[in-house]
Structure 1
Amino acid sequence: MIDDGAAPVSAPSPDPLGPAPVRAAVVGCGDVATIHFESIAAIEDAELVAVCDTDASALEQAARITGAPAYTDLGTMLREVRPDVVHITTPHNAHADPTIQALEAGVHVIQEKPLAHTLAEGERIVAAAEEAGQRGVKIGICFQNRYNVSAERAREMLDAGAIGEVTGAWASVEWARTEGYYRAKPWRGTWEGSGGGLLINQAIHTLDLIQWLLGDVVKIDGHAATRRYGHVIEVEDTAEALFTHASGVETTFFATLTSPATHPVELEIVGTGGRISIRGGLKLTRVDGTKEKWKERKATSAGRAYWGVSHELFIRDFYRRLGDPELFWISPAEAMKSLHMLKAIYHQSFGADHI
């Protein structure tokens, strides 16, 4: 089994994935499904063979855009199409059931983040993934930002001791969302539909990078609140926390959706020999004042900028590993780590009803 904390792979090359095309289906035809459609289309030796949704309007649009056969029932689609991989891009509260159904049918799964909208549902997926893995069935949770140049280089530098002993870190997610964002998809603003707000929907990628780059979080002191949109949503739009890692290092974290503009996510890791700064790209600043910079890959998709640039890299890497005996490195068990982080903040802020 690949260690959950394994270093990232470098950007996969466009080598053939196997003797036959990977046959992919997408379940859930909302906004984020579009970048999965585009990624599948861009990958050599992969084809979209079906789309599935219970929303007739979304399904019709997806079928029209992709030309793929449309299904309203997952079981029927699995039996008739027999895809190699199913992409689960449904709302948060509809992650567990289709993911588990596909795994039990022997179909590999790529599932969008978060792992689930509750810890209990997340544990269901972890258990199903462990059982499926014994049969060679893989699942990967889409934390595609681990494939960003900045994240890969940061991990390599930390592993190599490029900034000496790490002494601390801070991270900031300052984005803008309007009332219209929540009114367009009301589930985003509810505990039942989303499982939370800012933390579980937007900042979860940064939480994932924090624990992946700096190690497991063993203590959390955090707070979440609804500062602006309480008349529209029941979940948080602002949060802050102090995370203590197993090493004893602390990360200071702040996130909000009330910013007047959306800024690049910032993550800075400080060490005795320098600091690593992620803001779009990556900058290494040594204690002697010398610096090195790396630019992020340019987005080739028409998708939204905040989705990042690495969905295709994640999907391509997952497809390439389908024949490997090991489990995929971004597993449900790994995805539970960021879910536990944010749910701890919810517990401290809103009580046990929202974990």
Structure 2
Amino acid sequence: MTRAAVVGCGDISVVHLAAIEAMDDVELVGVCDADRARAAEVGQRLRVPALDDHRRLLEELRPDVVHVCTPHDQHAPVALDCLDAGVAVLLEKPVAHTVPEALRVVEAAAAHPDVKIGVCLQNRYNTPVQALRQLVDSGDLGTVHGASASVLWHRTPAYYAARPWRGRRERSGGGVLINQAIHTLDLVQWLVGDVVRVRGRAGTYELADVIDVEDTATLVLDHAGGARSVFVATVTNAVDAPVTIDLATEHATVQLRQDLVVRWADGRVDTVGEGSVVTAGRAYWGASHGRLVEDFYARLQEPEPFWIGPREALASLSIIDAVYAEGLDRPGTVPTPD
């Protein structure tokens, strides 16, 4: 029986706890949160010990795997302590809230090659995404000219008030790009190819009196091999619209929403559906957290690193960091004619 623990009992922990419960050969041995009351509530509900210090959890409960579901600025410190203790780590995205912190995790993972570490970029496990990656790898699409992608979502001031760290750069690392859009950015670079040049702007246009991170961003990405992608993300949309990725290729146009639709130049149309989505969390989180968690545990005894590790997760974070380096735009006013 593999012993699991969860550090961080906020919203996303619900999905990890459900995934652990679903596996017959995994036992939840404890939870941890800096908020003692929150940890106690979860521990009481699940009938496991609850602690407020992850180092005590490592010493006293001796888990085999720790799921890190903390605010972003705690990802690296908890992961480093777990690796040093020889405990496998499954990190929520992002790998860290800054690139320097992420590099510390990359270096620590390299220094502990026998300790498994993974990062939850779970949308790679979506059935349509897997099908599209296989199609790209097959060469049937011909040359991939580029992609366009959008994350047009809606977040209110109350969303940030409920978890203030989300809107503070020193704790979250950023706004819509690092919190909501990072999954889609990861897919674009994974499907189209490594990004070698980034141009873009990020700004706080609607929520400037609430947060000090961006609520909107636009990017142009140049990929190795010559493809170019454009990317738009915001949390100021009127509703949570479906995430979109469109690929322009030599032999087909590709649309990825919840389903994958491939329209071939010869008139054929292929569709790959996700099917019904059942999740313990919010619907827009999708159903693939459980798939990634199960796969991570299935590979624990394999000698190779987990395929979505810190170095792999660094790619999308580095794209985001390049945009942040340009600084944030702030709202202005349109001059009124006299």
Under TM normalisation by the shorter chain, which class is it?
over 0.9
Listed as ranges, the matches of 1:312-327 within 5 Å are 312-327=290-305
Contact 1:163 1:276 in 2 (8 A): no
**Aligned twin of 1:99:** 79
Contact 2:279 2:286 in 1 (8 A): no
Instruction: Write the letter of the residue equivalent to 1:111.
Output: L
- Partners in 1 of 2:195 and 2:214 — Cα distance? 22
- Partners in 2 of 1:62 and 1:186 — Cα distance? 21
Contact 1:37 1:66 in 2 (8 A): no
Listed as ranges, the matches of 1:205-284 within 5 Å are 205-284=183-262
**Aligned twin of 2:118:** 140
SS at match of 1:48: strand
- Partners in 2 of 1:332 and 1:32 — Cα distance? 19
Q: Which among 6, 22, 42 is matched to residue 2 of structure 2? A: 22
- Taking structure 2 as the reference length, the TM-score comes to 0.95
CA RMSD in angstroms comes to 1.1
- Partners in 1 of 2:63 and 2:212 — Cα distance? 38
The reply to whether residue 344 of structure 1 matches residue 326 of structure 2 is no
- Taking structure 1 as the reference length, the TM-score comes to 0.91
Instruction: Write the letter of the residue equivalent to 2:310.
Output: P
Contact 2:246 2:254 in 1 (8 A): yes
The reply to whether residue 87 of structure 1 matches residue 59 of structure 2 is no
Contact 1:297 1:309 in 2 (8 A): no
CA drift of 1:155 comes to 0.3
**Aligned twin of 1:45:** 25
Contact 1:148 1:297 in 2 (8 A): no
Structure 2 unaligned blocks of 5 or more: 330-338
The reply to whether residue 159 of structure 1 matches residue 137 of structure 2 is yes
- Partners in 2 of 1:145 and 1:256 — Cα distance? 19
The reply to whether residue 291 of structure 1 matches residue 269 of structure 2 is yes
Deviations 1:194-221 (A, max 9, x none): 0000000000001111111111100011
> Kindly, what percent of the aligned residue pairs are identical?
47
Deviations 1:52-77 (A, max 9, x none): 11101210221133222111222221
Q: Which among 291, 298, 305 is matched to residue 283 of structure 2? A: 305
Contact 1:114 1:339 in 2 (8 A): yes
Contact 1:175 1:258 in 2 (8 A): yes
Contact 2:195 2:224 in 1 (8 A): yes
Q: Which among 164, 171, 174 is matched to residue 186 of structure 1? A: 164
Structure 1 unaligned blocks of 5 or more: 1-20
- Partners in 2 of 1:273 and 1:312 — Cα distance? 34
Q: Which runs of 4+ in 1 moved over 4 A?
A: none
Contact 1:117 1:194 in 2 (8 A): yes
Instruction: Write the letter of the residue equivalent to 1:120.
Output: P
Deviations 1:167-220 (A, max 9, x none): 121001111111100111111111111000000000000111111111110001
